[in-house]
Amino acid sequence: MPGRPSPSRRTVLRGVALTPVAGLGVAACSPGGNGVTAPATPTAPVDLGAVSEVAEGGAALYRDHNVVVSRAEDGSLKAYSTICTHAQCPINKLEGTTLICPCHGSRFDARTGEVLHAPATQPLSELPVEAENGRIVAGPGA
């Protein structure tokens, strides 16, 4: 073709080789891990289950909703988003009342949302929560 040089074989091969690598980089950094959906906490009240599922002085992790609920000795409830404040990974592990982020190891207190271990520096976002007819309802508007 006159006026426009055709790409050399080396240029074409370089482009092909870099494309998947760039795609992997984006997927590895995206919070959902698959690059399709970002994790989110409830945008409306959700029924998480029976209050009795959370022991007094303990906590329960609701992975499907990215919420942790703790129950104080007096029976009062607290709820926090389990989207890590460091780089927005969904936290998927609860040991006792300690939440552990799988991405970089931040730890949070499920009873207060406070950071127990860096790299996160900001506490988890608190969510409204209440007990309704023995059920835990959490999220905005609860």
Binding site for ligand FES (CB under 6 A): 84, 86-87, 89, 101, 103-106, 119-120
Q: Which residues pair with 132 in a beta bridge?
A: 135
Complete DSSP assignment for 23-62: HHHHHHHSTTSSSS------SS-EEEEEGGGS-TT-EEEE
Shortest distance, position 49 Cβ to ligand FES, whole Å: 25
71: phi then psi, degrees, rounded to nearest 5: -130, 120
Shortest distance, position 86 Cβ to ligand FES, whole Å: 3
Q: Which amino acid is at 138?
A: A
Shortest distance, position 120 Cβ to ligand FES, whole Å: 5
Considering beta carbons, is residue 40 or 87 the nearer one to ligand FES?
A: 87
Considering beta carbons, is residue 33 or 49 the nearer one to ligand FES?
A: 33
Shortest distance, position 103 Cβ to ligand FES, whole Å: 4
Considering beta carbons, is residue 81 or 106 the nearer one to ligand FES?
A: 106
* SS3 call for 11: helix
What distance in Å separates the CA atoms of residue 134 and residue 142, rounded to the nearest whole number?
Answer: 14
Considering beta carbons, is residue 124 or 129 the nearer one to ligand FES?
A: 124
User: Per this entry, what is the length of the chain?
Assistant: 142
